[in-house]
């Protein structure tokens, strides 16, 4: 009997007589589509070839009436590898996976057939709140970025170069910063500051047809402007009832008519290395403590009730007024206010000017009728040194430059009396000792006969006792004249 190994009997193993398993070829299904979970009426191991995409599948299991087909070969639409900016292509591992893992900047979460990449807090080394063009920044308006920062609790809002027309509502804890070049970011509008907290704005150009910050609220927020320029037709701070400090560091005016601060609420002004205000249409009003260090003040200034001023190395190009009970010390300051008076003093307080200079042709150079006192120490009057006769000039006041009396009848008046610097004494037998505690070892004492008496002679000082007296002697023992004397001290 012969055996044909190619023939088969249903249900039998053709090679069983050799104790070997039959090498059955797998079933191959060719179709113009991919298999679905409904294609379950096939044996496990059946192959399926999608002739349209050239992708092969194999039936791996049937569970709960659903077929599971695994991909065996990649077509043009499948993922074989990932290629980065460097390092070459990355293929799947032994399990068929290409792993995408997170790090300190990002986390990667997989659900179903979706990977979600989420930024960590370290993903933004500067800030997540960046304003700029679509595709370059997460926000296209400054307000949207500030809203997001506020929702996050606080934050830095960084603005890419450009011009932004927005009337902003600011929040506590926001720092708004432009590009490093101040002129790169221009913000046009009038803005509302938060009523409390802190606000920092830097590296911007702020433009407004009226005011930059405006509010009638009695806010307490500390507002600081750093490396910033303005072009304003009003005030940078139109905050009449504000009580919080207003600060500048390297702040500049550009083509402004700006009174800078309109405030009667008592806000402190702390101004450093800044160009403050411009033009004479709007007046800077201060009613709190004011510190001006190395500044140029280009608008009129009125220090009103409660103002206490300390200025050093600051130049004023418009008149300064001290009103109500304002006080101040201005050291090495320059007043270039021609043709107006440099200072109008109408205060009940005291103001001291130390060094510096005043350049104005106005007569008087310092005007006003305040009942307080002005002390002038080493002030250089370049053109006109006249002071209003209604002023109370403190004892010990000194001025550098020439003393010029420009009106006929004006002159120097010195009070006389006990221990005064000027007076008279009558000679007896040609001599007299004058008690005077103001005399010093370097006093220059000038003498002249006020009323001749007896036999007038030549007058001289023959003795001086420091802090006690000095002696006047005539060369004629018969001299009984009344002698006028004047004590002056070298500077």
Q: Compute the distance between CA of residue 140 and CA of residue 212 in angstroms, rounded to an integer.
A: 21
Contact, 181 vs 204, CB < 8 A? no
Show the tokens assigned to 45: 């191991």
Contact, 165 vs 147, CB < 8 A? no
> Quick one: how far is CA 281 from the chain centroid?
25
Per-residue model confidence (pLDDT) at position 1: 40
Residue 249: name the closest of 291, 220, 215, 302 by CA: 291
Per-residue model confidence (pLDDT) at position 124: 58
Q: How far apart are the first and last CA of the chain?
A: 148
Q: What letter would DSSP give residue 466?
A: T
Whole-model pTM: value is 0.65
Q: Compute the distance between CA of residue 206 and CA of residue 215 in angstroms, rounded to an integer.
A: 17
155-159 vs 174-177, strand pairing mode: parallel
| 3 state SS of 277 | coil
| 3 state SS of 323 | strand
What letters, b where the CB count within 10 A reaches 16 and e where it falls short, cover 439-477? beeebebebebeeeebebbebebeebeeeeebebbbebe
The pLDDT tens digits along the chain (491 residues) read 443 433 333 344 444 444 545 555 668 999 999 999 999 989 898 999 998 888 888 999 999 999 998 888 655 555 666 777 777 777 666 556 777 777 766 787 877 767 787 766 555 567 889 999 988 888 999 999 999 999 999 999 999 999 999 999 999 999 999 976 667 899 999 999 999 999 999 999 999 999 999 999 999 999 999 999 999 999 999 999 999 999 999 999 987 899 999 999 999 999 999 999 999 999 999 999 999 999 999 999 999 999 999 999 999 999 999 999 999 999 999 999 999 999 999 999 999 999 999 999 999 999 999 999 999 998 999 888 899 989 998 855 555 556 666 567 767 888 899 999 999 999 999 999 999 999 999 999 999 999 999 999 999 999 999 999 999 999 999 999 999 999 999 87
């Amino acid at each position: 009997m012969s055996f044909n190994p190619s023939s088969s009997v249903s249900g039998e193993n053709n090679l069983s007589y050799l104790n070997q398993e039959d090498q059955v070829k797998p079933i191959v299904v060719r179709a113009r589509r991919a298999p679905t979970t409904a294609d379950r009426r096939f044996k496990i191991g059946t192959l399926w070839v999608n002739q349209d995409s050239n992708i092969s599948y194999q039936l791996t299991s049937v569970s709960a009436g659903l077929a599971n087909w695994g991909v065996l070969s990649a077509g043009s639409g499948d993922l074989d590898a990932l290629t980065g900016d460097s390092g070459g292509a990355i293929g799947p591992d032994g399990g068929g996976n290409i792993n995408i893992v997170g790090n300190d900047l990002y986390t990667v979460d997989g659900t179903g057939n979706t990977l979600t990449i989420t930024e960590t807090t370290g993903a933004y080394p500067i800030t997540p709140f960046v304003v700029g063009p679509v595709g370059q920044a997460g926000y296209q308006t400054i307000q949207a970025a500030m809203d997001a920062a506020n929702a996050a609790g606080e934050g830095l809002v960084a603005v890419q170069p450009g011009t932004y027309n927005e009337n902003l509502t600011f929040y506590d804890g926001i720092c708004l910063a432009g590009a490093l070049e101040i002129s790169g970011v221009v913000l046009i509008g009038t803005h509302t500051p938060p009523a409390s907290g802190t606000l920092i704005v830097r590296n911007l150009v702020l433009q407004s047809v009226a005011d930059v910050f405006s509010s009638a609220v009695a806010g307490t927020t500390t507002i600081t402007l750093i490396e910033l320029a303005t072009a304003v037709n009003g005030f940078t701070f139109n905050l009449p009832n504000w009580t919080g400090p207003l600060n500048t560091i390297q702040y500049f005016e550009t083509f402004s008519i700006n009174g800078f601060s309109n405030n009667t609420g008592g806000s402190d002004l702390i101004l450093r290395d800044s160009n403050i205000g411009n033009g004479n249409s709007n007046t800077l009003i201060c009613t709190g403590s004011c510190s001006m260090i190395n500044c140029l003040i280009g608008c009129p200034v009125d220090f009103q009730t409660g103002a206490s001023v300390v200025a050093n190395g600051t130049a004023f190009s418009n008149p300064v007024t001290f009103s109500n009970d304002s006080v101040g010390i201005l050291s090495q300051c320059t007043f270039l206010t021609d043709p107006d008076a440099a200072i109008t003093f109408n205060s009940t307080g005291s103001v001291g000017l130390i060094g510096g200079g005043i350049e104005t042709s106005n007569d008087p150079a310092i005007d006003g009728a305040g009942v307080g006192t002005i002390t002038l120490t080493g002030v250089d009057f370049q053109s006109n040194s006249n002071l209003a006769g209604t002023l109370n000039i403190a004892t010990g006041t000194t001025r550098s430059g020439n003393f010029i009396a420009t009106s006929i009848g004006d002159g120097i008046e010195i009070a006389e009396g006990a221990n005064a610097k000027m007076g008279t004494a009558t000679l007896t037998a040609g001599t007299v000792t004058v008690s005077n505690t103001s005399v010093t070892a370097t006093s220059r004492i000038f003498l002249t006969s006020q009323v001749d008496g007896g036999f007038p002679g030549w007058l001289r000082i023959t003795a001086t006792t420091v802090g006690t007296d000095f002696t006047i002697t005539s060369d004629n023992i018969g001299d009984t004249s009344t002698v006028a004397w004047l004590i002056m001290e070298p500077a």
